[in-house]
Amino acid sequence: MSPKKNCRIYSWNINGIRSATKKGFPDWLGKSRSEIVGVQEVRAQPDQVPDEVAAVGRFHQHFTAPVRKGYSGVGLFSRRKPDALETSLGEDRFDDEGRLQIARFGRLVVANGYFPNGSGKDRDNSRIPYKLDWYAALFERLQKLRKSGKRVIVMGDFNTAHKAIDLARPKDNEKTSGFRAEERAELDRWVAAGWVDTFRAFEPGPDHYSWWSQRFGVRARNVGWRIDYIMASPAAMKFVRGAFIRPDIMGSDHCPIGIDVDPAIFGDSD
């Protein structure tokens, strides 16, 4: 009896599902051979999702939209139907922005999040307190799931580069939201609590990024930031067999990231 193949889980900030559709997102999704795909920054109400996306076969699809139209939003595509799916952190100030899906598949819980950016309208870092509150609320929610025996994966655009190695120009961005000390300290807290940055578990080296400014030539020169993550609880990490970033896949200012997991992660085995 041949061993079961690993399952692939992707996360991708698509920077607008309508825009991404015009750039080939449905074709990529259909050919991705993925078990689960979480997307962020959908920027569309569920009834505005293009027909080409809805027509991609063999996926259960769910979208969470904010109150404000054309902003934020997350989407989840999964081969198997979730046993349960939640979208609330329990406070309107968080839930109104449509940033979260928490889906349960057997013993696996997948949280797909579009973490807030700390920059205000004038790039004044005024949203950092809200951002850190959102991080903390999700942290507490997921810690409870860990303690209940679930294997938990949280993925998405975290909007924070954790270490100097995670962006091309750390010295120039120490006062910029996304690399400020208080934001990085929040990721330190997650790691100290046992959460594993899956990509760094397999690749310790530099020059691996997931987001680039849309200014001309920046992506070609690889002047980027690694702000998209898949974090695994220790119980989930036991089943992670690899992690990767796909900068060769276009269609957004971010690129897809992913992990390969043993399919036993869904079941009852330890």
- What is the tens place of the pLDDT at every residue in 252-267? 999 999 999 999 999 9
**162 falls within a domain:** yes
Per-residue CA distances from 253 to 110, 121, 200 (Å)? 24, 20, 22
**110 falls within a domain:** yes
Residue 270 has pLDDT above 80, yes or no: no
Tell me the per-residue pLDDT of 111-129, one tens digit each, with 9 for 90 and over: 999 999 999 777 789 999 9
Tell me the per-residue pLDDT of 136-175, one tens digit each, with 9 for 90 and over: 999 999 999 999 999 999 999 999 999 999 999 999 999 9
**1 falls within a domain:** no
Residue 56 has pLDDT above 90, yes or no: yes
Q: What is the CATH number of the domain that holds 165?
A: 3.60.10.10
Residue 3 has pLDDT above 70, yes or no: no
DSSP string, 95-142: HTT--EEEEEETTEEEEEEEPPP---TTSSSTTHHHHHHHHHHHHHHH
Percent of the chain surpassing pLDDT 90: 95
Beta bridge partners of 110: 103, 153
Per-residue CA distances from 155 to 11, 97, 171, 257 (Å)? 6, 17, 27, 9
Q: What is the pTM of this model?
A: 0.96
How large is the average pLDDT for residues 35-47?
97
**129 falls within a domain:** yes
| Residues taking part in catalysis | 157
- For tokens 């690889």, what's the residue? 222
**186 falls within a domain:** yes
Give the whole-angstrom CA distance, residue 118 versus residue 130: 8
In which domain, by residue range, is 256 found?
A: 7-266
Give the whole-angstrom CA distance, residue 61 versus residue 36: 10
Question: 80: Cβ–Cβ under 8 A, 6 or more apart, which residues?
Answer: 35, 60, 105, 266
Domain count, the chain: 1
Give the whole-angstrom CA distance, residue 31 versus residue 10: 12
**2 falls within a domain:** no
Residue 81 has pLDDT above 50, yes or no: yes
**40 falls within a domain:** yes
What's residue 268's pLDDT?
62
At residue 4 the predicted structure's pLDDT band, cuts being 50, 70 and 90, is confident
